[in-house]
Structures are given as C-alpha cells and as structure tokens.
Amino acid sequence: MRHLLTLFDLEQSELKSILATAQHLKSELRSGNRPPILARHTLALLFEKPSLRTRVSFETGMTQLGGGSLFLGDDVGWGKREAPSDFTNVLGQFVDAVACRSKKHERVEELARFNAMPVINSLTDLSHPCQAIADALTIQEAFGCVAGKHVVFVGDGNNVSRSLALACAMLRMRFTLARPDGYELDESWLARIAKQYPDAQIHQVSDPIAAIKDADAIYTDVWTSMGQEAESKIRRQAFADYQLNSKLMSAAPSTARVLHCLPAVRGEEITDEVIDGSQSDVINQAGNRMHAQKALLVFLLRPQWIAENVPQSDS
C-alpha cells in the first residue's frame, strides 16, 4: 500500500507522472470534461488544523473525479476515545484514502503504520508535500521544462520550504533559501536529500538581494506559522529585511514569477503591490492545489488509469 507522508515516498519518475496527470486533468476540466475516474470512492479529511485551500481543493477534486469526501474534525475522537489501531483500522473499513492535516508529523506516520488505507499528508509541522507538488506544477506551467530553473525561497526553513527544496532536487531545479541566521533548513533533512539526490543544488544564504538576482521563481510564506504565535514578535524582528516588496523585486529578473502558499499576511512577508502584481502566480498556484491533489489521488487509487490515459514527459 502506498502513502504520501513526504515527497521521499515518491520516485522522481512518479513525481513527474503526477505532474503530467495534473496537467492532463486540468486541461480536461478546462474543456468541460470531468472523467469519473474515482467513481464510488470516498476520501476522509482528518484535520487538526483549520483550512481553506486544502479542504476545499480535496473536496472539490474528489467530486470532480466522481467520488465523495467526508470531513472529520474533533468529534471523531482521533487519539482521544480509542486506541490508534482501532480508530485507523475501522476508518479503513469505510473509506478508500485519508488526507490528514496534523499538528505533529508523528500523527500521520501513526496512521500509515497500520496500512488500513492510503494516507496523504496534507500538512504537518515537518512537511507539506501536496503544496510542493502544486508549486512544481505552477513553475512547470510558467516555464515548460523546469530542469535548471532557480527557485528562491525568502523566509523560514519551515515545512513548506523543506518540501519545496526536496521537490527541486527531484526535478533538477536549483533551490536557494534566503533566511536570517537561526532559521535554516534542518541538517537532517538536507542530509537525507543529499544521500538520495547527490546532484541536488541546495544553498542557504543570508542576503535576499543576492539570492534573487538570477531567480526564476521567488517564493515566500508567513513568518509565523500556526503554533508559533508566541514567537511572532521575535520573528517579525528577525525577518524584517526579508519582506518581498517592490524594492527587493527590483533586484530580480523581470521574468521571475512570485509564489506564496497562502494565507498571506499582507504588509508583513509580502506587500500588496507584489502579491497582486504582474509577476505574481499566487492565485494560479492556489488553484493548482486541486489539480495536483486530483492527480495524486488517481496515482494512489487508480494508477492504471494514468498508464492508459496520460502521456508522460521528461520535462
């Protein structure tokens, strides 16, 4: 049984296949076609954190694929009323897959351990693979072949930048994290990437202006994530020179695209003129969450459909 807890659970060829499937399904939708690939399939959404994009994109995506979804909140008693094995194995009797949005990565690992149904990490403190797939799809749409493109993340070495760095390694893109001291990517995560993808080009610098001079995509995220509210004052001070604004963007190529995983704190990590500007792909990026996740669901639940219907690409 396959799970997606991090992008390490995919081979490079599988990630490329998911991206090709996402592009295919997006094109089909634009043509008015919604093939019922997952008819009579049910996805459970097991969430410990609030959500807009993740919940709506998964629910809508399952509907477009001919299936259904169930939102499961605190009332189901996950980790409270019964043993994890009982909860997970019973849930697996009812649904075909579960997308889990959890505060701790260990929680999704626990779900996957019982192999009751495919488990998708839809966000944890460690990793956000669904976001990274949508990010890669957005960059691919902007530039075609992504190999050799330079992605610069201006901000924190958090779950989003970790996952994006790994996606870049898998797709042969360069990745640079521009961050203040103390907010680097985890050494253990970088070591794992280096072991599996020894040709990966991942760099960390403190100067955001130097970092973006040859950037193809410039990405930022909130300075204070959910669960870090007590650090907000310290983080605002640490990241004060890392705001994505018109002054910083003036150092970037005019062809560079702006990305943000949303929600954004406008006026903090990014300004209105940048997020709403002509170089911004932020709204398309958000929309691509649905297309990427539809492709992921098909990959996990009906991979043969991809083999029979989706032309594969090496880009």
Q: What is the pLDDT of residue 76?
A: 93
CA distance 240 to 1: 45
**The residue to which tokens 């018109």 are assigned:** 246
Q: State pLDDT tens for residues 264-308.
A: 999 999 999 999 999 999 999 999 999 999 999 999 999 999 999
Residue 138: name the closest of 294, 283, 299 by CA: 283
Q: What is the pLDDT of residue 238?
A: 96
Question: Residues marked as binding?
Answer: 101, 128-131, 159, 221, 225-226, 261-262, 289
**The Cα angle at residue 161 between residues 97 and 145, in degrees rounded to 5:** 85
pLDDT digits (tens, 9 = 90+) for 42-76: 999 999 999 999 999 999 999 999 999 999 988 89
Q: How many whole angstroms separate alpha carbon 213 and alpha carbon 248?
A: 10
What lies within 8 Å, CB to CB, of 111 at 6+ separation is 46, 84, 88, 98, 100, 119
Catalytic residue among 261, 279, 281, 291: 261
Q: Which amino acid is at 241?
A: D
Catalytic-residue membership of 131? yes
134 plus 192 within the same structural domain: yes
Catalytic residue among 96, 221, 281, 285: 221
- CATH number where 41 lies: 3.40.50.1370
**Do 263 and 142 fall into the same domain?**
yes
- Domain total for the chain? 2
Q: For residue 170, is it within any domain?
A: yes
Whether the predicted pLDDT of 168 surpasses 90: yes
Of the candidates 305, 284, 307, the residue with the CA atom closest to the CA atom of residue 35? 305
Same structural domain for residues 170 and 234?
A: yes
Let me know whether 53 and 118 are in one domain.
Answer: yes
Which residue from 134, 110, 108 is spatially nearest to 123, judged by alpha carbons? 108
Confidence class for position 27, pLDDT limits 50, 70, 90: very high
Same domain (yes/no): 73, 188: no
Answer whether residue 204 is part of any domain.
yes
Catalytic choice (3, 128, 235, 291): 128
Residue 314 forms part of a structural domain: no
pLDDT band with cut points at 50, 70 and 90 for residue 314 = low
**In 3D, which of 177, 133, 169 has the Cα closest to residue 152?**
177
Do 145 and 220 belong together in one domain?
A: yes
57 shares its domain with 109: yes
Binding positions for carbamoyl phosphate: 101, 128-131, 261-262, 289
Three-state secondary structure call for residue 313: coil
Provide the angle, in degrees to the nearest 10, between the axes of the packed helices 282-301 and 12-30.
110
User: Range of 253's domain?
Assistant: 129-285
Catalytic residue among 150, 162, 257, 289: 289
Domain contains 2: no
pTM above 0.75, yes or no: yes
Asked if residue 102 and residue 158 are part of one domain, the reply reads no
Q: Which of 64, 131, 204, 243 is catalytic?
A: 131
Do 142 and 240 lie in one domain? The reply is yes
User: Which residue numbers belong to the known binding site for L-ornithine?
Assistant: 159, 221, 225-226
Domain membership flag for residue 1: no
Average pLDDT over the chain, rounded to an integer: 96
Residue 221 known to be catalytic = yes
> 184 with 108, same domain?
no
